[in-house]
Amino acid sequence: MLQIDPLKKSPYYVQIYAYFRQEIEQGRITAGVRLPAIRELAKQIHVSKMTVEKAYKQLAEEGYILQHCKSRYEATYLDRAISKKIVSITPGISTGQKRTYLYDFGSGDMDMEGFPLTLWRKYMNRVLSDPVYLSACDDEQGVSALRIALSNYVYETRGVKANPDCIVIGAGTSTLLHILTTLLRSSYSHIAVENPGFRLGRELFRSAGYQLEMIPVKEGALDLSSLEKKAGQLIYVSPSHQFPTGTVMRADLRYRLITWAKTNDGLIIEDDYDSELRYYGRPIPALQGLDDGEHVIYMGALSKILPFFVRLSYMILPSAIVAQYHKQISLFRQTASVAEQCVLAAYITSGEMYRHVKRLRRMYQEKAMRLEGLLRRTFGSQLEVQHVLSGVYCLVRIYSKKTTQELVNAAAAQGCRVLSVQSFYEQPQLWDEREFLLSFTKISSEEMPEAVQALYRAWKEG
More confident residue, 34 or 385: 385
Contact in structure between 313 and 300 (CB atoms under 8 Å): yes
- Quick: pLDDT tens for 9-30: 788 888 998 898 888 877 788 7
In whole numbers, what is the pLDDT of the chain averaged over residues?
A: 87
How many whole angstroms separate alpha carbon 261 and alpha carbon 268?
7
245-249, 390-394, 407-411: range with lowest mean pLDDT: 245-249
Percent of the chain surpassing pLDDT 70: 93
Task: Choose among 238, 241, 221: nearest CA to 281.
Answer: 241
Task: Say whether pLDDT at 88 is over 60.
Answer: no
3-state DSSP assignment of residue 390: strand
Contact in structure between 357 and 401 (CB atoms under 8 Å): no
Task: Choose among 267, 301, 293, 272: nearest CA to 185.
Answer: 267
- Quick: pLDDT tens for 190-203: 999 999 999 999 99
In this chain, the answer to whether the domains covering 101-105+354-457 and 129-349 adopt an identical fold is no
CA torsion angle for 317, 242, 86, 314 (degrees, to 10)? -10
**Which CATH number, 3.90.1150.10, 3.40.800.10, 3.40.50.300, 3.40.1190.20, labels domain 101-105+354-457?**
3.90.1150.10
- Quick: pLDDT tens for 100-136: 688 999 988 888 877 888 899 999 999 999 989 999 9
DSSP letters spanning 12-28: HHHHHHHHHHHHHHTTS
How many whole angstroms separate alpha carbon 148 and alpha carbon 163?
8
Contact in structure between 118 and 432 (CB atoms under 8 Å): no
CATH 3.20.20.70 fits 129-349, yes or no: no
Strand partners, 211: 190
- For the segment 456-461, the average pLDDT, to the nearest whole number, is 90
CATH 1.10.10.10 fits 11-73, yes or no: yes
**CB pairs under 8 A, 24+ apart, for 250-259?**
250/221, 253/221, 253/222, 253/224, 254/287, 254/290, 255/290, 256/224, 257/222, 257/224, 257/227, 257/287, 258/287, 258/290, 258/291, 258/295, 258/296
Task: Say whether pLDDT at 84 is over 70.
Answer: no
Domain ranges of the chain: 11-73, 101-105+354-457, 129-349
